[in-house]
Every structure is written in C-alpha cells, then in structure tokens.
Structure 1
Amino acid sequence: MKKEKTVTMGVDERYSQWKSMVGVLYDWLANHNLVWPSLSCRWGPLLEQATYKNRHRLYLSEQTDGSVPNTLVVANVEVVKPRVAAAEHISQFNEEARSPFVKKYKTIIHPGEVNRIRELPQNSKIVATHTDIPEVYIWDLETQPNRQALLGAATSRPDLVLTGHDDIAEYALAMCPTEPFVLSGGKDKYVVLWSVQDHISSLAAEAGSNVKMGSKNSQKATESPSVGPRGIFQGHTDTVEDVQFCTSSALEFCSVGDDSCLIFWDARVGSLPAAKVDKVHDGDIHCVDWNPHDINFILTGSADNTVKMFDRRKLSSEGVGSPVYKFEGHEAAILSVQWCPDKSSVFGSSAEDGYLNIWDHEKVGETSGSGGPKGANAPPGLLFRHAGHRDKVVDFHWNPSEPWTIVSVSDDCDSTNGGGTLQVWRMIDLIYRPENEVLAELDSYRTQILGTTP
C-alpha cells in the first residue's frame, strides 16, 4: 500500500511540474476531460479556416462500463493558429472540465467497444473501426445518423462489414494512402487486405449506376453489406498487433505482433512474407509505422519499453536486421508510434508511463537535449517530452493540415478511478526550428528580455 502511494505522489508531482511549464513549452494546448476513456483518436477533415483559428473534425471512441453503449464520437475542434494564444491563457485550464474548443457533433452507437479508428486518406469522412470480433466495420460518418447513447438503444448499422478473419481482430488496422484499401491483423495470425472499391463496384453493377457508400441504396438493406478480402497473408506465429502500408505502394505493407517479428509483405508476389525479421524486440511488438517521407525507414514500439528504427535496405536475405537505432526514453510499454508529417526525421511515441515523447533521429549523437525534463541528460534523440497526461497515453495523431499539432488521449482509470483526458497541443516552435533561426530571433528580442541595449 505504501508503494502505491509513493507512485501516485510521483505522478502528481510530475504533473504539477509539467503544468507550471505549459506557458513556456507550448504554443497551444487545449485540455478536455472525458467521461469515458477513449482508446483511439484521429483527425478528420479540415472544416473551416478563420483569422486566428481553424476548425477540424476529430474522431474518438468512448469505452464505457456497460451502463451506456460504447460509441464512436465525431467532434468539432478549434485549433488556434501559431503564435496567437497567450501563455497565461493556455496555462489556465481545469483538469476536471471540458474544453470550450472541443464540441461533440455526432454520436454513433458502436456494436462493441472501439479499439481502433483509422480514416481513409482519400476521404477522411470514411473510417474503419476494430472491435472485439473478427470483422472490420466501415462507416461513412457524414451520412450516419446522430444517435443518443441510452442503455438498451439499438446499435448503429455500419455502412460495410469486412470479412475474412477467423478469430478476433482488435488492434491491427490501417488505411492505404494511395488506394481505398484496408489492412487488418488479428488473433488468427493473419494479415488481411480489402478494397472498399470492391463493395462500391458491386453496388454500382447491381444498380446500373454509380452508387456512393452511405447512399440510400446501401441503407435499405436489412443488414450491413459485406465484402470479402483481396488477400490473406500468413507468416506470423502469434497475434498480429499492428499493420501499416508503405506510403508509395498499395500492395506493399508490413506487420508486427506478439511473436516479436517484423514482416514485410508484397501482394504482387503472393501471400507469404517478402522479408521477415525475427526477434526484433525482447517482448511483444505493439505498433509499427512506415516513414511517409523516406520509405526505407520503419519504426517499431514494444512491450520492452523501446522504439527501434529499421532501414529495410539493410535486412539480409535470411531476414536478419539490426536497427539503425534503439530509442530508450520510456519507462513502460510503448503503445503507439507515428512519424511526423512535417519533418522526415521526427516521430512520436506514447507509452503506459504517461509520456508522449517526440524524437528526432538526426539529433542522435548530439550532446544536448531540448524540451526534455533532464536537459543535457535527456535520452539521445529526444526532442520534446509531453507530460500532460497522468496515466497511460493510449493513442495520439499528428494533424495532417496543422503543422506540429497533436491530439493525444489517455486512459485515466488507474490514476483517477475513471474517465480519460484528451489534449490538443503544439510545442513552441523555438524547440524544433533550426538553431540559427532561433538564436537570431532571440537576439532580436534581447533588449526586451534582458532590459539592456545591444
């Protein structure tokens, strides 16, 4: 009991220290208390651009205790533009309150809890969801009716159901950047590939005209229409935990799992692995991401608390590969990794330790650290440490149209006995801009800062 109290005090002390620095470290931050934990958060389309802020869609899950249904939530979020918010304004928030910048727009009653959400890059109003069954659900969030999440209410009907798994598929889910393809992995050890276009084409053929997903034709069905896979890929020996497409090819992808393997696939050459790297980590691999700027670099995050970066050009024909670098800055299992869309060498990692770390692999080897709590003693490559969550950071997503802006969610049940926290934030640009630019700008403000003449 005494040990638990010490851990709690450590979290509170860390959080208090972080909160005192918000006005210095952040250009923008919105803190939003969630009644129910969200296991997944994703940006939708940019809706409106104004003088000082932009309005975006945001997709969230609500994992309830069964007293009300599990839901998929569509929210509107206002993101203040860079160098607009005053430091004292972003520092003044109440942890128990809901942010005025985050407003619920629509609720879908989801059949089962929402473990993961992924949006279709070609049309981010279309999303896929994973729950605790073998099937994958596809939703058109604009045409889906708004529902009230009341106990006993009937579930919303997905626009499409993807079939092909033989067992539960909970977490591994990805959408292709170049084609309307969906990728999934599950407990059956399979990686399964679908095309949403297969369903739309079959509808069009039946109707004799073009039919869009979510149209009246598909809504008339007594049950959601379904579509089978284009391919089932076998090579893992345990649960597939995450999958990711190559950003330049709809037929190349990779997967990781509880067998500690990283597997590369090429649908053009068959259903067996194109390359397989064994024992990538000393534990289950929870997440993987493929660099959108340089297709040779892949990130993996594991239960062994580390993130590793691989260069696929340096994998041998025997499937042996050493990481380019191992990033060690978390104290618990890694839950999510994602490359930054704004700079090719930067990525984020979130973990059960409550931290969301921002790394720059080009900084590895430099002696000083920036933004981290340890200063010069920060782990190599650590650019910034977001410590605004008081419990495990289960998911985060870089905003594709707001540079350096992140949404992150934590499941706070272990620390606050329920609920979760959503934060939309952007670190101050002095941290990531080129050093010569920053020094020149600071020098121009030397008089105001020091109160002396140059």
Structure 2
Amino acid sequence: MKESVKGSAPPSVDERYTQWKSLVPVLYDWLANHNLVWPSLSCRWGPQLEQATYKNRQRLYLSEQTDGSVPNTLVIANCEVVKPRVAAAEHISEFNEESRSPFVKKYKTIIHPGEVNRIRELPQDSKIVATHTDSPEVLIWNVETQANRHAVLGVAASRPDLTLTGHKDDAEFALAMCPTEPFVLSGGKDKCVILWSIHDHVTSLAAEVASNGKQGTKSGGNGEKTTKGPSIGPRGIYKGHKDTVEDVQFCPSSVNEFCSVGDDSCLILWDARLGSTPAFKVEKAHDGDLHCVDWSPHDINFILTGSADNTVHMFDRRKFTNGGAGCPVYKFEGHDAAVLCVQWCPDKSSVFGSAAEDGILNIWDHEQVGKKLDAAGPKLPNDPPGLFFRHAGHRDKVVDFNWNASDPWTIVSVSDDCGSTGGGGTLQIWRMIDLIYRPEEEVLAELDKYRSHIMGCNNP
C-alpha cells in the first residue's frame, strides 16, 4: 500500500504534499511533525527512558547546522512516542507545518566544534555517541555527563570525552559503531577506512583517574575555556578505495568484518584478520557514486547499497565470485533522485527503508519482489516491485532516518526543506498503520471481525 500512485505527469511538490496530508489519517497510526529552527543532517534514537500507559519517553539525538550566527550543536531531546493504536485519526491529521511538536522537547545542548554531519550511538551503551564533522577526527561524547550549554556567538566548544585520530583528510559522513564490541569505524576523503577500539582508552583513563582523582576538566558554563581531551589512534587502517569513502558498516555478528562504499562506485568487504587489504571488492556496484550501505542484522549475507544513480541494490555475498564480480540480487528503482540513506527494519527481516533527495522515504519488502513478478493479473507501470509504503511528508531531500529499535515500526526522519517550511527543515516521527505491514491473513481476519462497523461507517 502506498501514499499515491503516479500519473503520467508527476505532481508538483505542493500537490504531492497536499495529497499526502489528506491521506495521513488513513495511512498512519501516529505522526508528529516538528519544524526545526536550524537544518539537521542526522537523527538517531537514544535509549528508552520511561514507559507509560499511552506513550513512552525516549531520547532523540539531532544536529543543528547553523549559519554561523550561533554555534553548531549536538542536541539531545526527549521524545514522547505514542503507543500503537492510541492516537485518534483526527488528531493525527491536525498538525501545523510551521510549528514545533509538543512531543519533542530539547533536553540538552552540546556546543559542537563544527557542524554535525553524522551521529551514531554505541549499541552497548546508547548514551555514548560518535559524531563526524568537517575534520579528520571522530568525536566521542557521553551525552549524559556533558554539560548543558547555551548556544551563543563566541562561546567555546564543548570538550569531547574522546577524540579518535588517524585520518589524513576530512572524514565527514562514513561512521559506524560495532553491535558486539565498543569499536568505531570511519571513512573519509583520504580514501581510507579506519577502525578504533574505545577499549584502548580505558587504560589511559584509569591512569588519569588514579593520578588526578577524577577525569580532566570538562567544559562547563558559557565562556569557559575548554582543554584538549584525551585521544587514541587506530587499531587498523584499510586501503582499497580510489575516492572518498561515503559510508561504512559493521557485520552485525563480527567485530572483524565490515564493509564500505564510496565515490569510486565500489562496495568493499573487509576482514581485519586478513590484513589491511580488501577481502572482496565489487568494482562497479552502481552506475554512480555510492552514498550509503547497511548490513542486514537478520541475515549476514545481505547488504544494501544506495547510490547517486537513484537506485538501491541488494547484494548476497554468497554470490560473489573470486574474479571480483558481484551482481545485486535485486535492484530497487523507486526514487527520482540520489539515495542518501538505507536501513534494514529491526522487526521484519525482509523490510528496509530508503531515503533520497527526491523528498521520499520508501519502505520495501524484498520478499514481495518475486511474488509481485510472478503474480497473475495487471501490474501498474509505475509500481516498483517490492515497494509497499511511500512516506511523502517531506518537501525536499530526506537526509537521514532511523528505525526505532524500542518501537520497531516507528521511524524518525529529517529533511532539508527550509525553503518550503519557512524554518530550518522538518523532523517527522511516524508509524504507518499496522494493517499495512501485518500478515495478510491477520488483517483480513480483523477486518472481517469488524465488518458490520466498517459497513456502518460507509453507510451513515
């Protein structure tokens, strides 16, 4: 089920948005629209803080990319996530595009040295986050112990809890945390993939605490001068790309295996046990630069890639050959612009999302591709195989999104649509109605159970 079916002439952004908004009460179980003060390039869920009868409270990590009149910041917000089948349809549809949602409240602001291009949380301790900015370093923050700062012009930047060094040029976007160990992975303009272990900081930190009785001075109130924090060098530097590394990802079950994609159109698989050269390299994974990659947490053979060629490819590493050939098992063609972000659904193994510069966030189910192709009957010409939901609530490029592991069908997405909204971009938190993704037999049984009520609604 999708938000709309394209006609012969594509609708304008305003037409598409108006059509989408009219369908919100039908397609969504819950939606919160939050107009941002400044554009955000990254959004991530933090830990769940509290469970209540009708909603849960959860941390949300965001960036603020300012115009220089105030500092760039890393924002920690508290978000109230309404539970499934609680919100009324009329309430879901009543939101103001130019206002800030009451469900999202800023909790803490960290003054970031440079704009935040990407945020990743540590799976073993989600209050520890890593950030990329326009520099060679990766910055590690404990968002709970960092002081809350007031973002005013001239204020000193907050002091990172740890700085990861090793890149020879800017590392802006490629960043990942290992699911099994506190390892960090990064890629950058130096064409390198670099691996660190936060464990390497533990020994030096213990020595610092023993000698000082506490950690080094952290940044406090506004105007306080910061001191340079601790730093560590890499465990390994991996060379194989011929251009900027745009994204990296760990194998969900191994600290030694990871993958990377870049502007050289290559997908590279690495194994730290085999040295610093590629374990396998797909020379032409797409017909354009690769912007994003994700490794399935459900089946470690499946890897997704998204590209400037507007497509998402799904690879099965069992089908790679020794000669370097690697053809995708599926190609997903449902975007009209470069794909910026892909991520597997934490709840259903065959489902994933993709966000693009066309302002659309598509939800796919690769298990439906073969079924759709084999099914008898007519097929709409613009109905991409595998696509079952299209989120069109953003009015310009969707730069990031994140599935909620604590509430698996809830997604946070952020777009750079300042020109359309009159603000700094749009943050949306949404959950499609469960009738869309639940097994067909379950849905039909439920609809049959309420058949008389439904028919009554249609015939007042």
The TM-score normalised by the length of structure 1 is 0.93
CA contact (8 A) 2:411 2:429 kept: yes
CA distance in 1, matches of 2:98, 2:320: 49
Aligned to 1:346: 351
Query: Would you say 1:327 and 2:325 are equivalent positions?
Result: no
Alignment of 1:317-396 (within 5 A): 317-367=322-372, 377-396=382-401
The residue aligned with 2:131 is: 129
| Structure 1 residue 376, shift from structure 2 partner | 8.2
Which amino acid is 1:170 matched to?
Answer: E
Residue in structure 1 matched with residue 376 of structure 2 by the alignment = none
How far did 1:8 drift?
11
1:217 matched residue in structure 2:
215
Answer yes or no: is the 8 Å Cα contact 2:76–2:107 preserved in 1.
Answer: yes
Q: What are the residue-to-residue correspondences of 1:399-438 with 2, within 5 Å? A: 399-416=404-421, 418-438=423-443
Aligned residue number for residue 21 of structure 2: 19
Shift of 1:242: 0.1
Partners of 2:159 and 2:227 within 8 A in 1 = no
Supply the distance in 2 between the matched residues of 1:9 and 1:349 (Cα, whole angstroms).
Answer: 21
| Correspondence for 1:4 | none
1:60 paired to 2:62? yes
Question: Is residue 194–residue 236 contact of structure 2 (8 Å, CA) maintained in 1?
Answer: yes
CA distance in 2, matches of 1:8, 1:117: 34
1:158 is matched with: 160
Tell me which of 40, 43, 46 is aligned to 1:41.
43
What root-mean-square deviation, in Å, do the aligned CA atoms of Structure 1 and Structure 2 show? 1.9
Residue 85 of structure 2 is matched in structure 1 by 83
CA distance in 1 between partners of 2:380 and 2:45 (Å): 32
Displacement after TM superposition at 1:207 (Å): 3.9
Cα deviations across residues 267-302 of structure 1 (Å, max 9, x unaligned)?
011000000000110100000000000000000000
Q: Deviations over 1:179-218 (max 9, x none)?
A: 0000000000000000111112221145459x9xxx9414
Q: Tell me, what secondary structure is at the counterpart of 1:44?
A: strand
Alignment-derived partner of residue 273 in structure 2? 268
Report if the CA contact (8 A) 1:159-1:218 is conserved: no
Change (3 A) 1:376 1:88: farther
Q: Give the deviation of 1:153 after TM superposition.
A: 1.0
Alignment of 1:159-308 (within 5 A): 159-208=161-210, 216-219=214-217, 222-308=227-313
Displacement, 1:89?
A: 0.4
Q: Deviations over 1:109-158 (max 9, x none)?
A: 10000000000000000000000000000000000000011111111111
Distance 1:417 1:52, change over 3 A: closer
Counterpart residue identity of residue 344, structure 2: W
Q: Which residue in 2 is equivalent to 1:445? A: 450
How many residue pairs end up in the alignment? 437
| CA distance in structure 2 between the partners assigned to 1:319 and 1:404 by the alignment | 37
CA distance in 1, matches of 2:92, 2:199: 44
Determine the C-alpha separation between the residues in 2 that align with 1:208 and 1:341: 41
* Deviating more after overlay: 294-303 vs 441-450: 441-450
| Unmatched 5+ stretches in structure 1 | 1-6, 369-373
Paired residue secondary structure (2:21): helix
Supply the AA of the counterpart residue of 1:217: Q
Q: Cα deviations across residues 204-238 of structure 1 (Å, max 9, x unaligned)?
A: 145459x9xxx941436931110000000000000
Gaps in structure 2 of 5+ consecutive residues:
1-8, 219-225, 374-378
Q: 1:74–1:364: structure 2 CA closer, same or farther, 3 Å change rule? A: same
C-alpha separation in 2, matches of 1:81 and 1:207: 43
CA shift for structure 1 position 377: 4.6
Tell me the equivalent position of 1:94.
96
State the 1:365 CA deviation.
2.9
After superposition, the Cα gap between the structure-2 partners of 1:9 and 1:269, relative to the gap in structure 1 and judged at 3 Å, is closer
Structure 2 CA distance, aligned partners of 1:8 and 1:154? 48
**Contact 1:130-1:137 at 8 Å conserved across structures:** yes
